[in-house]
Structure 1
């Protein structure tokens, strides 16, 4: 006879210890398939153009990522309910201040308004990231993102070089090596 409370507790601990957050799927969306990467670099979308999904930019105007073309662009999809996303944000903030770094845009996938996103970032001392919003999750849908955080690196012409699924220290060695692929600084 199994100890039902112990089994439930063990299952809960396994779910809570996963390294990346599963995106909350829309009603008609499928969850992550077995061929999706669980964490790490994914180059299967290399060369794809950035989507023209409608977003709200840092000034709260309707925008698309194309507005940011012209230099390498690192686009991070995150949510306040995702612990690995929150853990990663300070390293993206630090990277955004680094001379010669790619432009860094943090796209909130939360349904909240601008004020709530700004308050969340301020409460976590995130001061320099260019914060965009995607309350309808149109960007994550267009990119087929199932795990957050996911960060997509575009070259200056708006073509995807790679994406990183899961959290990463964007001030560390692994990030420096990846960012050097589009001419961003190797380490600082």
Structure 2
């Protein structure tokens, strides 16, 4: 009996230590989220094309400017082709898109001193209304990019692109190149790329 009691005394601390070493249940992980160009895809939207961020994509070269209309600061609908007549840099962005917001100040500067008559326009793909876009731009001191708004994100959905996407068109409305993601719009490389549009 002495042997059993001594075994029990020896084993009891080991059992207690084992019980104390319980791991907490694993915490649930957040599901993977893929962000496309808006919370709701507009009717007739194309699937989002895969493209490396920062790369220059020339696979759409020569395609014409889409026939969409955007809202201006007064809420009037203006066709995109009304901005033609000189080369145009079309930026598709949203207030919730961090890379979009990051590049807005450089695009604003570029719009204020665009070389060779380049017109820079940034069209918001937000779904919360023109007033939100105007307030957002004003709060960030954006002065050279007029508030333009695609009220149903038809442009990004119809073109099947993520945000931000920026597309260079020549003065006739033919695509020269496009890029996905934020870019250094002040670099010498970018200046050379912008000079490709006539």
Deviation at 1:174, TM superposition (A): 2.7
Bigger radius of gyration among the two = 2
Q: Provide the C-alpha distance between the structure 2 equivalents of 1:178 and 1:105, rounded to a whole number of angstroms.
A: 17
2:92 corresponding residue in structure 1: 77
How many corresponding residue pairs? 171
Equivalent position of 2:37 in the other structure: 23
- CA separation in 2, counterparts of 1:64 and 1:163? 20
1:65 is aligned to: 80
Residue number in structure 2 paired with 1:132: 148
- Which residue is 2:29 aligned to? 8
Q: 1:27 to 1:125 in 2, by over 3 A?
A: closer
Rounded Cα–Cα distance in structure 2 between residues aligned with 1:38 and 1:65 = 26
Give the match for residue 46 of structure 1.
61
Aligned to 1:186: none
Give the TM-score normalised by structure 2: 0.76
Unaligned 5+ runs, structure 2: 1-22
Consecutive unaligned residues of structure 1, counting only runs of 5 or more, are 184-188
**Corresponding residue SS for 1:94:** helix
Using the alignment, how far apart are the partners of 1:4 and 1:48 within structure 2? 52
Q: Over aligned residues, Cα RMSD in angstroms? A: 2.5
Q: By how many angstroms is 1:22 displaced? A: 3.1
Match of 2:113 among 98, 117, 124: 98
